[in-house]
Amino acid sequence: MKDFKDKVAVITGGASGLGLAMARRFAAEGMKLVLADVEEEALRKVETEFRKAGVPVIGIRTDVSRAQDVERLAEKTLATFGAVHLLCNNAGVAPGGVVWENTVADWEWALGVNVWGVIHGVRVFLPIMLRQDADCHVVNTASVAGMLSVPNMAVYCVSKHAVVTLTECLYHDLAQRSSRIGVSLLCPAYVPTGIIDSERNRPALLRNAQRAKTAEELAREEAMRKAVLSGKISAEDVAEMVFDAVQTNRFYILTHPKIKDAIRTRIDDILLERAPTDTSKPPR
């Protein structure tokens, strides 16, 4: 995409974090915004912010794990703006824990949002984009966790690996058809956003039974919180990288160059058929 003025961007998880930063960046280019989020109050707040700034915007409460919600999102987008040119499948959650202790609820929640959310976005919006026969772009937010396998993050890593391969396959499928739809895969590492507190949005039906957390669990959560909040690259920095990738039609967006060594180590582990290296530990 080269021309952004008056084009329509649909962004899931658009009321906070990376989604909101992307919305602000694309709004600065003159785009109309459709913001989808499960948090009603936050959604109304940012919708008001954009309206006051003169940005054409609608906010639609959406649980991306539900097919009917995403279908309704598309219907309202077309009813309001008549088209969609940029789709950012960005909504995500991040449960942690040791893999054998993760509950069915943990898996259903994370796979519902992180994987089915992207599946629904692609399934619903790509046919619309193809019919338009216009320059369009899709950005799927994965994570470096989609390229690594690290301790205490199995549920999250599984979900993000799925997004990586789904997006790579999407790229091939569109390339075979010589479509005008570009694709980018966003793989950030630690960025200070609200994803560390994503439990706030877990549906009641998928909540785990209340119990006292062990000292190990509390220490693990605190370490993860510190790692995320100490990230040196901001959501605004990432949004700028996303804009550049859309504008230049670049596929991989690796926001933290230093993480490439860990990715290379994992690939070498596979090719050399050796046991997985714990890339969460600093190299000796």
For residue 226, what pLDDT is reported?
61
Closest CA to 88 of 164, 185, 3: 185
Domain that holds residue 246: 8-258
For residue 283, what pLDDT is reported?
44
Q: CATH code at 153? A: 3.40.50.720
Q: 252 an active-site residue?
A: no
d(CA 70, CA 125) in angstroms, rounded, equals: 9
Residue 272 lies in a domain: no
Tens of each residue's pLDDT in the chain, 284 residues: 899 999 999 999 999 999 999 999 999 999 999 999 999 999 999 999 999 999 999 999 999 999 999 999 999 999 999 999 999 999 999 988 899 999 999 999 999 999 999 999 999 999 999 999 899 999 999 999 999 999 999 999 999 999 999 999 999 999 999 999 999 999 998 776 666 677 888 888 888 877 666 777 666 666 665 656 565 789 999 999 999 999 999 999 999 999 999 999 999 999 999 999 998 865 43
| Helix, strand, coil % in the chain, rounded to nearest 5 | 55, 15, 35
Residue 199 lies in a domain: yes
Residue 103 lies in a domain: yes
Neighbours of 98 (CB within 10 A): 13
Beta bridge partners of 60: 36
Strand order in the sheet with 57-61: 57-61, 32-37, 8-12, 86-89, 136-141, 181-187, 252-254
How far from 45 is each of 2, 51, 245, CA to CA, in Å?
30, 10, 28
For residue 212, what pLDDT is reported?
63
Give how many domains the chain has, as a whole number.
1
Residue 1 lies in a domain: no
Residue 267 lies in a domain: no
For the residues of 128-165, what is the DSSP string, one character each?
HHHHHTS-EEEEEE--GGGT---TTBHHHHHHHHHHHH
The pTM of this model reads 0.90
For residue 237, what pLDDT is reported?
95
d(CA 113, CA 104) in angstroms, rounded, equals: 14
Residue 87, amino acid? L
Beta bridge partners of 181: 136
Residue 171 lies in a domain: yes
For residue 192, what pLDDT is reported?
63
Residue 92 lies in a domain: yes
Buried b (16+ CB within 10 A) or exposed e, 209-247: eeeeeeeeeeebbeebeeebeebeeebeebbebbbebbe
Residue 282 lies in a domain: no
Residue 7, amino acid? K
Catalytic residue among 156, 171, 190, 252: 156
